[in-house]
Amino acid sequence: MGIYIQTVWLGGLLIEGIILVRSVLGRSLAKYPFFYLYIASVFAASTARYVLEIVRPSLQHGIYWPKQYVTLFLGCGVIFEISRHVFAQRVTLDRIARWTMLVTFGAIFLSVAIQAFILPGWNVTANTADLERDLRIAQAIVLMTILVLSGYYKIGIGRNIKGMILGFGIYVGASVFSLTLRLFVGTRFERAFEVIPNTAYFLALAVWMVALWSYEAEPVEKLPSISGGEYQILAGRTQEILGSINDHLDRTVPR
């Protein structure tokens, strides 16, 4: 492990610890459980890898991909959590974002199943980087969907969720770039493959630490105000409808 990677790794562990402590002190742990579960899982896995790097270096590479997939799926839970908070008052938009993720992930897993069935000798373990890239692309698509919908419908987003989106955007974008470049360049890009995502994740952690230092509730969407005249009109129409319903019941229900 190079000095730069080791420095970024240890710095990331420190920031992760700070984020987890602040989640308790700032009383935001219960507000974003998936996010803090994600941070805790990365913290635990990274600590285990660092210890193995010192004690048994040959073993730490074996837990890299399992750790990546566990945190990747937990990251999907965080994106669901982001959607739930952003569209708390727009249930339909929340469903659109969720269905976007389900469809994109479903298409990826269907593609994997087809390749495993049709192509001889094809298996997931030999194509882990490709699968991770595709799943990261799916995460990016859902994040973009959330941003586009919230922008189009002018939905306010609080500091905490903005920080989550920005941090994930940095890390997911860098991961897609490095994994794609690794696919085309091969082993010659192996060194940069370690540097780019690790640096991006460190930057994401820095963003999360600042954005989630204290809990901030999502802005409440203001409903259109009704003037006095409009209120009188609505009240009158409501009385007419209620009167019609009452007359209809008098005619149809025996007394």
Examine the pLDDT at 210 and tell me if it is beyond 60.
yes
Average pLDDT over the chain reads 79
- Say how many C-beta atoms besides its own lie within 10 A of residue 182's C-beta: 19
Give the model's pLDDT for residue 253: 44
Examine the pLDDT at 240 and tell me if it is beyond 70.
no
Contact 198, 15 (CB under 8 A): no
Q: 3-219: which CATH number, 1.10.3470, 1.10.260, 1.20.1070, 2.60.40? A: 1.20.1070
CA 137 to chain centre: 12
Q: Structure pTM?
A: 0.78
Lowest mean pLDDT among 29-33, 163-167, 216-220, 223-227: 223-227
Give the model's pLDDT for residue 162: 94
Per-residue pLDDT band for 249 (boundaries 50, 70, 90) equals very low
CA 193 to chain centre: 22
Q: Which phi-psi region, left, alpha or beta, contains residue 146 (left: φ > 0; alpha: ψ -120 to 50)?
A: alpha
Contact 132, 139 (CB under 8 A): no
Give the model's pLDDT for residue 224: 47
Examine the pLDDT at 237 and tell me if it is beyond 80.
no
- The residues near 80 (Cβ < 8 Å, ≥ 6 apart) are 34, 98, 101
Which one, of 132, 19, 125, lies nearest residue 72 by Cα? 132
Compute the average pLDDT of residues 48-60. 70
